[in-house]
Amino acid sequence: MKISRELAIKILKYLDKHKNFYFPFLVMRKEYAREDDDFVEIEPNEWDTIEHGHAYQTLELWENLQDLNEKTLELMAKGFLEEITEESSERHISTLAKNYREE
């Protein structure tokens, strides 16, 4: 699911600071080499690269578990985003749901 740069940075900073926190998603960024249109995983300690690298605009959360249905993933994302952002997930989820329907 697509996420904003701001949310990606917040997630990565949180994960970098809380190394034992289990987050069942990968933060992914799109490669911008002409011959490469793939996504690559961003490690939590790379949050500064994303924050200062304005080329990184296409960011997504990818589930890192197997055989989970859409509703389970949505519920999991709500809880984790609320924990990381320390705010209601309602605002984030409406954006996530809109982005998911557009895919």
Per-residue confidence (pLDDT) for residue 47, from 0 to 100: 92
DSSP codes, 29-90: EE---TT---EEE--GGGHHHHHH-TT---EEEEE-SSS--HHHHHHHHHHHHHHHHTS-HH
Q: Say what the pTM is.
A: 0.64
Per-residue confidence (pLDDT) for residue 91, from 0 to 100: 62
pLDDT over 70 (residue 94): no
DSSP 103: -
Q: How many angstroms separate the CA atoms of 103 and 9, rounded?
A: 22
Residue percentage of the chain with pLDDT more than 70: 76
State the chain's maximal CA–CA distance in angstroms.
40
pLDDT in tens, 39-51: 889 999 999 888 8
44 vs 91, residue with greater confidence: 44
Q: Residue ranges of the domains in the chain?
A: 2-102
Per-residue confidence (pLDDT) for residue 78, from 0 to 100: 84
pLDDT in tens, 16-38: 999 988 788 999 988 666 666 78
- For residue 11 the two structure tokens come to 């997630």
**Residue 70 — very low, low, confident or very high, per pLDDT cuts 50/70/90?**
confident
